[in-house]
Amino acid sequence: MNSGFWTFLKQYGWITLISSVLMISLVIMSQILQNASSFADTYSSLLFFTLAGIGVVLFVLFKTLWMLRGQYKRKTPGVKITLRLTLAATLMIGVPTAIIFYFSLTFIQQGINQWFDVKTETALANASALVRLSLDNSTRDRLKLTQAMVNDKGILLASSPVIEVNRLRSLLDAQEVALYHSNRQLIAFSSEEDMNVLPEPPGRNLFQQIRQKKTYAAVETRAGLTSDDQFIRVIIPFSDLGFSGTYALQVIFLIPQSMTVLAESVTAASAQYKELSYLKGPLITSFTLILSMVFLLTLVTAILFTIQAVQNFTKPIQTLARGTRAVSKGDYSVKMPIKEGDEFGDLTQAFNDMIQRISQARNEIKLGHLQTEVQKSYSQAIIKNLTSGVLTLDMNLQIRTSNDVANQIFNIEFSNYTGQHFEHLLSQDEHLPQLVDFFSHISPRLKQASKPWSLQYEFASQYGQKILMIHGSTLPSMDKKIGGYVIVIDDITELVQAQLNAAWSDVARRLAHEIKNPLTPIQLSAERLKFKLDGVLEGQNRALLERMTHTIIEQVATMKNLVQAFSDYANTPEVLLEEINLNQLITDIAVMYQDPAAKWNLTLALMDNCPMILADKARLRQLFHNLIKNSIEAMENTILPNIQITTYCDDQESMIVQVIDNGPGIAEEAQKWIFEPYATDKPKGSGLGLAIVRKIVEEHHGHISLNSSPDSDTCFIIRFPCMTRNVNTLQIKMDT
């Protein structure tokens, strides 16, 4: 047998078996009710068995419905269509079955009622009455005849009973004549059958009747060989002449077989009719019950079959729904089993193929996305590690990305403003005035430039003036249009500064070389002139010579100093880094300027536990001397001039030194060139003091800035890198 048959047997077998057995039982019960008396004893057992079976089937139905209710609550896929189809099938089967049930019930009731009609009942009653009347007449005749014989032969019977009973039997044409004493003793008998068999005596009640001198005549029945025989029993009590005793003469008249058969048939028909007439109501009840059970069994079985069939039908839908749910949860590895080779099987196969393809596509997308992410990370890493600042804007000029260098250059965290239009950004944050000018410079180029562009821009940052080289270009997009802008910002301040320094150093070197050489002969010539003519000239001439040579020597000395300054600026000695305590160095230098007789006052505000820095002590001494001298010179006309030097750390990476004086302040315009060589507003200044300061700071990879305005304090802020834990790293940094 194939698997389909076993599947059918597994799914429908039990319900088929139960229903078949119950249906057979109902058929047998129906046959018993109709007239199968041979199985009548089993009727009650079959009835209870069938009721129990239907109970089981109903229980199974309720259990199944309960299960469906649970599935409906759990929103199991396919349950709604199962319920809908089951309801439809139940209605399609139930309604016609109910109609058939109704008409069958009506037919049964009408059919049973039509079995019985008044005419038949009357005819049978009349036939019975006729038979009874006939037998009664015959009985009465026999009684009269026997009574007459006893009246005539009573004396002889008492005296010679044996002879007389024989004679009487012949005369009466009886089957059997027997003479009894009233005490039930048989005196004599005569029978046309076997004389060896004693006659059956009358019952005790009859002898009681005999003793009361009452006659008896009745039709009685006894079991015959083939059927019951009917006979007429006549008993006549009489006494003998001497009244010595009471006798009873029993005469048995056999009713002719033909008459018995006819009477029997009438009796049987009448009895059956009566029985059926009586059982009419119970029969209707029983047939109604059986029909109801058949209806119930048919309906329940049909519903169970329908549910099973619909569940089989919706099983592929459930499978597909389960798969869809798994896919919706992101499980693309699901593969639905294909059990049937029908259209649902094809659908499931198509679903599996589709999921497999989606899974493949998804994996490819994932891989692509991963690659893009890697590429993006790679690009970001490159951009992050670029020494140039990179800023990208979308086509709406909204900030997209930025790198650390860009943030550092502009001293702003651009990532906080991602997605915002930079103009909107400027209007929002009042602390970004430096960006206003920057964006106003680049905006026109962004709006009109489709080709790469470059721009040199000077930017006034928190730490001073910066020279930026800005390169801009557009970013591609999917639609071949402008997808955004990339702005690369190079801080070329140091480069420009280095170029300037180199140029100024060259100038200084040339000046030193060109000026220094003639100075000594000039000085020697002036001294020789004074020595030769001092003794020759007198009076005013001698004084004039003295004054002139003094002026020449003094100016030559001044020029030598200037040349020395030029030489110092031009010559960049090797920086000898060592671990120094900056506070200690500042304290040592300050001591030289803390003269009570001096006009100025120098105070220190140094942070405790100041971290060590790597620096060239001699160069730093020059730095602080230059700054202090600069301040003293600037406070020449200041009442109560005061210089304050403070140190502090704002983070673990930088050590900050501030040199503050309460001089007249520096004009905003002058702040732009204050650190430039040969830039001074002092009559005797060389214009190299602050330039050397900045050069020393830069040699130490530090940063110097100025915070001043006219009529307020002037503050030079120097930021030195602290010694990191890894000294080698710092050394490497410094070397670079």
Partner 1 sequence: MKIPPPISCVLFLFFFSYSSFAFSKSPIHFSSVKEVFQNQQLALNATVDFTLSEAVLSAIEHDIPILFKTEIVLFEKSDLFGFPIEKTQKKIEYYTELYAYGVNRYYVLYNHRNHKRQTFQTLESALQTLGTLQTLPIVNQSVLSSGKHYFLKIRISLDRWKLPPPLFINALLNPFWQLNSGWQEMKIQRPN
**Residue 47 touches partner 1, criterion: CB under 8 A:** yes
Stretch that binds partner 1, among 123-131, 467-475, 533-541, 650-658 (CB under 8 A): 123-131
**Residue 120 touches partner 1, criterion: CB under 8 A:** no
Block residue for tokens 């060109």: 514
Dihedral (CA of 78, 80, 85, 90) sign: positive
User: Taking CB under 8 A as the criterion, which residues in 536-575 touch partner 1?
Assistant: none
Stretch that binds partner 1, among 38-46, 241-249, 371-379, 549-557 (CB under 8 A): 38-46
CA distance 614 to 125: 146
**Residue 82 touches partner 1, criterion: CB under 8 A:** no
CA distance 383 to 487: 12
**Residue 412 touches partner 1, criterion: CB under 8 A:** no
Which regions of 650-712 does DSSP assign to beta strands (E)? Answer: 654-661, 703-708
Stretch that binds partner 1, among 266-274, 549-557, 586-594, 659-667 (CB under 8 A): 266-274
**Residue 235 touches partner 1, criterion: CB under 8 A:** no
Contacting partner 1 (CB under 8 A), which of 132, 400, 445, 625?
Answer: 132
Contacting partner 1 (CB under 8 A), which of 22, 29, 54, 79?
Answer: 29
**Residue 267 touches partner 1, criterion: CB under 8 A:** yes
- Assign residue 464 a region (left: φ > 0; alpha: ψ between -120 and 50; beta: otherwise): left
Contacting partner 1 (CB under 8 A), which of 188, 289, 467, 559?
Answer: 289
Contacting partner 1 (CB under 8 A), which of 11, 15, 16, 43?
Answer: 43
**Residue 505 touches partner 1, criterion: CB under 8 A:** no
CA distance 317 to 36: 52
CA distance 495 to 332: 58
Q: Which residues contact 734 (CB under 8 A, 6 or more apart)?
A: 577, 614, 700, 701
**Residue 128 touches partner 1, criterion: CB under 8 A:** yes
C-beta separation of 395 from 484 below 8 A:
yes
Stretch that binds partner 1, among 131-139, 248-256, 434-442, 551-559 (CB under 8 A): 131-139
**Residue number with CB closer to partner 1 (205 or 540):** 205
Q: Tell me 668's DSSP state.
A: T
**Residue number with CB closer to partner 1 (125 or 365):** 125
**Residue 282 touches partner 1, criterion: CB under 8 A:** yes
**Residue number with CB closer to partner 1 (267 or 654):** 267
**Residue 198 touches partner 1, criterion: CB under 8 A:** no
Instruction: Name the token pair of 145.
Output: 């005849």
In 3-state terms, what secondary structure has residue 595?
coil
Phi and psi at 441, nearest 5°, equal: -75, -40
C-beta separation of 179 from 165 below 8 A:
yes
**Residue 283 touches partner 1, criterion: CB under 8 A:** yes
**Residue 28 touches partner 1, criterion: CB under 8 A:** no
Phi and psi at 394, nearest 5°, equal: -85, -175
Contacting partner 1 (CB under 8 A), which of 96, 281, 337, 452?
Answer: 281
**Residue 32 touches partner 1, criterion: CB under 8 A:** yes
Instruction: Name the token pair of 453.
Output: 């562009």
Burial class of residue 561 in the structure, from the number of CB atoms within 10 Å of its CB (0-12 exposed, 13-18 middle, 19+ buried): exposed
**Residue number with CB closer to partner 1 (55 or 281):** 281
C-beta separation of 733 from 614 below 8 A:
no
Instruction: Name the token pair of 717.
Output: 């802020």
Please state the closest distance from residue 111 (CB atom) to partner 1, in A.
14
Stretch that binds partner 1, among 235-243, 274-282, 627-635, 717-725 (CB under 8 A): 274-282
CA distances from 152 to 149, 158, 163 (A): 5, 12, 15
**Residue 657 touches partner 1, criterion: CB under 8 A:** no
Residues in the chain: 736
CA distance 202 to 231: 13
Indicate the helix (H) or strand (E) that contains 457: strand 453-461
**Residue number with CB closer to partner 1 (277 or 642):** 277
Q: Which residues contact 306 (CB under 8 A, 6 or more apart)?
A: 85, 86, 89, 90, 93
Nearest to 565 by CA among 651, 686, 475: 686
**Residue number with CB closer to partner 1 (83 or 284):** 284
**Residue 25 touches partner 1, criterion: CB under 8 A:** no
**Residue 59 touches partner 1, criterion: CB under 8 A:** no
Stretch that binds partner 1, among 181-189, 245-253, 273-281, 506-514 (CB under 8 A): 273-281
**Residue number with CB closer to partner 1 (26 or 690):** 26
Please state the closest distance from residue 64 (CB atom) to partner 1, in A.
21
**Residue 272 touches partner 1, criterion: CB under 8 A:** yes
- Assign residue 173 a region (left: φ > 0; alpha: ψ between -120 and 50; beta: otherwise): left
**Residue 219 touches partner 1, criterion: CB under 8 A:** yes
- Residue count, binding to partner 1 (CB under 8 A): 39
Phi and psi at 630, nearest 5°, equal: -60, -40
**Residue 218 touches partner 1, criterion: CB under 8 A:** yes
Binding site for partner 1 (CB under 8 A): 29, 32-33, 40-41, 43-44, 47, 128-129, 131-132, 135-136, 203, 205, 218-221, 223, 230, 263, 266-267, 270-272, 274-275, 277-279, 281-283, 285-286, 289
